[in-house]
Amino acid sequence: MKTYYEIPIAVMAALMLLITTNVGLSQEGEPECSTNWCEVVRGPTGTISITNVAVWPEQNICLGSWFCAWAEDKYTCSDVIARTVWAPQTTNCPPQYWTNYCQSPYFETNWWVLSFPNQSISGQGESMCFLPTNCGSGTVTFYGIWRNWNPCTGLPMGGGTISLSKSFKVVNVEIAPPSKSICINGTTTFTLTNSCFPVTWEIVTNGTGGEPTISGGVVTAGTNCGTWTVIARSTVNTNCIGSASVTVRSTTITFDDTPSRGSTFWPCTWEAKLEAVCVSGTNNTSTNFSTSYTSLASITYGFSVDTNGTVSMHKSGDGSSGDVEKIVVTDFTANDGAAGIHIEAYYTGCCESGQLNWVQNITATSAPPPGKTPPYADCFGGPPDQCPYYFGWQPGGPTWSAWDYISSHTSQCP
């Protein structure tokens, strides 16, 4: 709070009138001090300066918030001395002095100018607020013309023009697209849109193994299925973020087979190559499917039967429990009584723009079925026109006699 004392102009005028109406007379009867005027003995030297531009809520805001600013001023006052001088001057009419203690200057006018992309505006006064419609860097400048005033006339005198600026930033972070889906062990990239200023990327995980990671907007999926939140956080204001979601998915297909050879074929051998394949197309049916496929993983296995029906078996190339994008064998047992083996397996992975299935080729056997010569495709229980796939597709036309469709062996994650 500034404290000062001034003699207002109206009071000064009344004082001068009082003095004027109490003019003395000389001994000869002639009037003395018939005329008076005001003189400034010590003029005003006060000043005004803008010491700071304050902002709310903060200097760097997130898009969607109001930005407000105002000038903080410093007034410096001064003691001003003036006097009333009479004419003709005699000892009966000496000059009358008075003092304005701490006479303060004043603003004649003040205004502000906002420079910001697509929203450059201005206005009167020492405060402003605006709601940004886009992100970017800006500056608000406050100006003022100030004056002192003449203690005799009350008119402006001296003064100057002052200004002070404050820069600020409006931050926005948006991620495109808002969501993505990728396969286990796959990668995908998120980008920024309608955004300003650098960001750091993070992904919200549970701290368990097999979760996705992120670097510079590139998400690398792990082996776990699920949905995670991706965050881009501004380095200018860490409260300004953009978010998106990434879903890691996979498809698991299972396989089972029980190859065997009757005693009339002993001794015998049987060898197979089993492949998990990606078949082109996503709407394969028994009447409409592609014979074009891509091999994703494979194993070899087989068995031999001696003259007593004792089975020896072997396999290679399979993965361990929990592996993805490998064929994992869960059961591999000999059936001595049936002179064969039983195998169960699964494959977990993805087939982008297609469908998973199995292809099994019998690579060698001493007892092939009639009309077959190794290598040949093994199509379990299905009609020959659905080879080379081990499991068939659901009928697209009239229902066939029931047999094993690949859909019966398929599960999705998540």
Q: What pLDDT is recorded for position 96?
A: 86
pLDDT tens, position by position, 217-243: 999 999 999 999 999 999 999 999 999
The sheet that has 106-115: what strands, in order across it? 60-62, 156-171, 136-149, 106-115, 121-124
**For residues 53 and 163, what is the distance between their CA atoms, to the nearest angstrom?**
10
Mean pLDDT of the chain: 89
Q: Does pTM surpass 0.85? A: no
Dist. CA 33–CA 19, nearest whole Å: 10
Of the candidate ranges 154-163, 271-280, 400-409, the one whose mean pLDDT is the lowest: 400-409
Asked if pLDDT for residue 6 goes beyond 50, the answer is no
Predicted pLDDT of residue 156:
96
Instruction: Look at residue 23 in the predicted model and tell me its pLDDT.
Output: 40
Kind of pairing, strands 78-87 and 327-335?
A: unpaired
Residue 268: which residues within 8 A CB-CB, separation 6 or more? 261, 304, 305, 339, 365, 366, 367
| pLDDT tens, residue by residue, 61-75 | 999 999 999 999 999
Nearest 10 degrees: Cα torsion 341, 342, 347, 351: 80
| pLDDT tens per residue, range 317-352 | 999 999 999 999 999 999 877 899 999 999 999 998
pLDDT band at 397 (very low <50, low <70, confident <90, very high): low
What are the structural domains, with CATH classification, of the chain? 9-171 (2.60.40.10), 175-249 (2.60.40.1080), 258-413 (no CATH)
pLDDT digits (tens, 9 = 90+) for 265-275: 999 999 999 99
Neighbours of 116 (CB within 10 A): 19
Residues in Cβ contact with 394 at an 8 Å cutoff, skipping those fewer than 6 apart:
285, 286, 405, 407
pLDDT of residue 283: 87
pLDDT at 82 over 70: yes
